């Protein structure tokens, strides 16, 4: 299956992972081998960037920006529209590649590509709406307004769990804003990045887009550090762990650059006594086991009213017993593998900590073995009854471990929901209008995303995506997130015959 798809995207099994757009550099860095967690087979080996390769890419991107920023925004939007059309044509192939390289279910792989298509559509419309404001001047014969200009190079660091969608969130908006992009994908999922670069390159070549508007540099932690410390890159957008984000934020902040951080989540659903429990069950199960618990928006905690706790836990356990775990390319399976064996070890370590800290398992976990599970990356989604104060509950484990706990009052539930270092996504399940509005009020959820009667996972591209506290404070995708990729300029025009000063200051000469 993968050989055919690699041919479609013109990907060599031993090729370069450094590109300035339509051209690939003869990369000289260490090889990165992509191994599928589905069956432990090698997909391809990619040569990473050396420092010299990286500097060459940045130089080409700098020159490209001088030209790309002069293209009218709607013309840049037309290029993005064509990329969206190309993605539609490749949705099946790219979706399968995402599923196979990352391990998420095939439906989620297709969904990720659809998310890319959706953000292209959003960005095309945005290309005709990069608006500023006008203000009344206190001085007669003067006009004030603001406008937005492109920043330059946007550096994009993405994580393995959404190997292509998060790149598109940043890139499509940055492109219509007039920026050029340098993408460092996760070293765990480099092949899907090569496929995206191939798709963009074909569209760019057909439209004479300058070389350097879409750049790719594969590599490990060191490559990300080059981006973070590089004064030539005014904006670095980084998605990943809080630990990584703190390092990127510090490096970019030290040089007074801009960072857009999308980091860890420790997301909770509050299930009230007035909840539709059937609806709550669907939201909780998908949120907890979708992508094998490897989403930043995965549901980690259920905070359940004591009056419905036993009933809901019984329903939850029955639903977990019906989960099908296996090859994600089989559409009958609900849950695929974790990304690698290191993730499996983190999963097992978290289970042990739950036991040591006093929790007990409602649904037991464990590693699956036998036919179909030879990669060693398949685990059982599990449910642990805990206290919110447990140290392990306060941390994000990227695995399908769901923590459940009781509450008595809504104020108590909201306090528990907020009492973690992270602040990405949150939800409440209730048919009580007062409870819903209380959850969404100033004294409610402290997260960047707060939902009513839907789960924590599965955000649409129309709204700004991001979170507070240790989630980093960044916003990507919809709403006015485009402003992160531009610089604001205030302009004052004097069309009078004199030069009055503001604040009534007199300066006669």
* Residues assigned a catalytic role: 262
Residues recorded for the chain: 509
CA angle 141/142/145 to nearest 5° reads 150
CB atoms within 10 A of CB 97: 30
Q: Rounded to whole angstroms, how far apart are CA atoms 447 and 460?
A: 16
Is the Cβ–Cβ distance between 5 and 97 less than 8 Å? Answer: yes
441 burial type by CB count under 10 A (0-12 exposed, 13-18 middle, 19+ buried): exposed
CA angle 153/155/158 to nearest 5° reads 155
Q: Rounded to whole angstroms, how far apart are CA atoms 16 and 28?
A: 8
CB atoms within 10 A of CB 225: 14
169 burial type by CB count under 10 A (0-12 exposed, 13-18 middle, 19+ buried): buried
Q: Rounded to whole angstroms, how far apart are CA atoms 176 and 75?
A: 8
Q: Rounded to whole angstroms, how far apart are CA atoms 472 and 470?
A: 5
Look at residues 232, 296, 269 and name the one whose alpha carbon lies nearest to residue 424: 296
Q: Rounded to whole angstroms, how far apart are CA atoms 344 and 373?
A: 13
Q: Rounded to whole angstroms, how far apart are CA atoms 190 and 182?
A: 14
Looking at the DSSP bridge assignments, the partners of residue 145 are 134, 491
CA distances from 66 to 60, 62, 202, 336 (A): 10, 7, 22, 45
Look at residues 475, 464, 477, 455 and name the one whose alpha carbon lies nearest to residue 116: 477
Cβ neighbours of residue 131 under 8 Å, at least 6 residues apart?
A: none
Q: Rounded to whole angstroms, how far apart are CA atoms 58 and 182?
A: 8
Is the Cβ–Cβ distance between 458 and 476 less than 8 Å? Answer: no
392 burial type by CB count under 10 A (0-12 exposed, 13-18 middle, 19+ buried): buried
């Amino acid at each position: 299956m993968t050989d055919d798809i690699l041919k479609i995207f013109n990907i060599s099994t031993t090729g370069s992972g450094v590109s300035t757009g339509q051209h690939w550099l003869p990369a000289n860095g260490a090889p990165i081998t992509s191994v599928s967690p589905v069956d432990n087979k090698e997909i391809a080996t990619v040569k990473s960037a050396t420092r010299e390769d990286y500097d060459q890419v940045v130089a080409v991107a700098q020159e490209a920006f001088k030209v790309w920023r002069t293209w009218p925004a709607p013309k840049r939007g037309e290029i993005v529209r064509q990329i969206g059309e190309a993605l539609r044509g490749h949705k099946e192939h790219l979706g399968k590649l995402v599923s196979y390289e990352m391990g998420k279910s095939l439906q989620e792989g297709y969904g990720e590509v659809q998310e890319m298509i959706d953000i292209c559509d959003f960005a095309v419309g945005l290309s005709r709406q990069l608006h500023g404001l006008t203000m009344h001047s206190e001085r007669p014969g003067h006009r004030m307004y603001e406008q937005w200009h492109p920043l330059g190079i946007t550096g994009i660091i993405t994580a393995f769990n959404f190997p292509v969608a998060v790149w598109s969130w940043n890139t499509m908006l940055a492109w219509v804003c007039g920026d050029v992009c340098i993408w460092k994908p996760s070293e765990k999922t480099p092949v899907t990045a090569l496929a995206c670069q191939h798709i963009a390159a074909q569209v760019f070549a057909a439209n004479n887009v300058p070389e350097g508007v879409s750049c790719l540099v594969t590599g490990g932690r060191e490559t990300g550090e080059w981006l973070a410390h590089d004064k030539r890159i005014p904006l670095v957008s980084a998605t990943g762990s809080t630990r990584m984000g703190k390092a990127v934020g510090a490096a970019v902040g030290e040089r007074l650059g801009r960072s857009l951080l999308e980091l860890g989540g420790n997301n909770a659903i509050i299930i009230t006594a007035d909840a539709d429990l059937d609806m709550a069950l669907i939201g909780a199960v998908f949120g907890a086991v979708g992508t094998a618990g490897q989403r930043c928006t995965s549901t980690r905690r259920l905070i359940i009213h004591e009056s419905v706790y036993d009933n809901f836990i019984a329903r939850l356990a029955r639903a977990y017993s019906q989960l099908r775990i296996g090859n994600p390319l089989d559409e009958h399976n609900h849950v695929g593998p974790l990304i690698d064996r290191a993730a499996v070890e983190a999963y097992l370590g978290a289970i042990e900590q739950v036991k040591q800290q006093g929790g007990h398992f409602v649904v037991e976990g464990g590693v699956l073995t036998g036919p179909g599970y030879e990669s060693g990356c398949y685990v059982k989604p599990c449910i642990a009854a805990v206290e919110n104060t447990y140290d392990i509950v306060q941390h994000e484990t990227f695995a399908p471990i769901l923590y459940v706990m009781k509450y008595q009052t809504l104020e108590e539930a909201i306090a528990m929901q907020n009492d973690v270092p992270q602040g990405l996504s949150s939800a409440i399940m209730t048919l009580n209008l007062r409870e819903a509005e209380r959850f969404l009020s100033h004294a409610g959820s402290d997260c960047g995303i707060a939902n009513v009667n839907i789960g924590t996972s599965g955000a649409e591209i129309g709204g700004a995506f991001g979170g507070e506290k240790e989630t980093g404070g960044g916003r990507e995708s919809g709403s006015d997130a485009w402003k992160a990729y531009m610089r604001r300029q205030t302009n004052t025009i004097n069309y009078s015959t004199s030069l009055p000063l503001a604040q009534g200051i007199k300066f006669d000469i």
